[in-house]
Amino acid sequence: MILQNFYEPHTHRDPSFPVIFHFDTMNKMESNFLPHWHENIEILYIVEGTVTVLSDASSMTGNKDEMIIINSNNVHHIQTIAEVSKYYCLIIDRKICEDFGLYTEEIIFQRLIKDMLITDKFNAIKDEFTSQKAFYKAKIKSMIIDFMICLYRDYIVSESPLSNKLETNKIEIIKKAIRYIQGNFNKNISVTEIAEEAGVSKYYFCRLFKEITDCSTVSFINILRCNNAKKLLQSGKYSVEEAAHTCGFDNLSYFSKTYKKHMGCLPSSSKKL
Given this model, what pLDDT does residue 3 score? 41
Given this model, what pLDDT does residue 37 score? 86
Q: Total domain count for the chain?
A: 2
Given this model, what pLDDT does residue 28 score? 79
177 & 99 share domain? no
Cβ 122 vs Cβ 90: under 8 Å: yes
> Which CATH number characterizes residue 131's domain?
2.60.120.280
Q: Which of 138, 157, 176 is the last residue of a domain?
A: 157
For the chain, the residue count is 273
Given this model, what pLDDT does residue 5 score? 47
Given this model, what pLDDT does residue 72 score? 87
d(CA 34, CA 221) in angstroms, rounded, equals 10
61 & 99 share domain? yes
Domain that residue 91 falls in: 19-157
11 in a structural domain: no
208 & 255 share domain? yes
Ranges in the chain, pLDDT < 50: 1-5, 9-10
87 & 197 share domain? no
142 & 171 share domain? no
d(CA 262, CA 8) in angstroms, rounded, equals 22
Q: Which of 101, 127, 157 is the last residue of a domain?
A: 157
Given this model, what pLDDT does residue 30 score? 66
238 & 117 share domain? no
241 & 178 share domain? yes
12 in a structural domain: no
* pLDDT tens digits, 241-251: 999 999 999 99
141 & 189 share domain? no
231 in a structural domain: yes
> Which CATH number characterizes residue 183's domain?
1.10.10.60
Residues 6+ apart with CB under 8 A from 253: none
10 in a structural domain: no
29 & 84 share domain? yes
Q: Which of 157, 188, 205 is the last residue of a domain?
A: 157
8 in a structural domain: no
Given this model, what pLDDT does residue 1 score? 41
145 & 41 share domain? yes
pTM: 0.76
124 & 188 share domain? no
26 & 145 share domain? yes
Given this model, what pLDDT does residue 158 score? 65
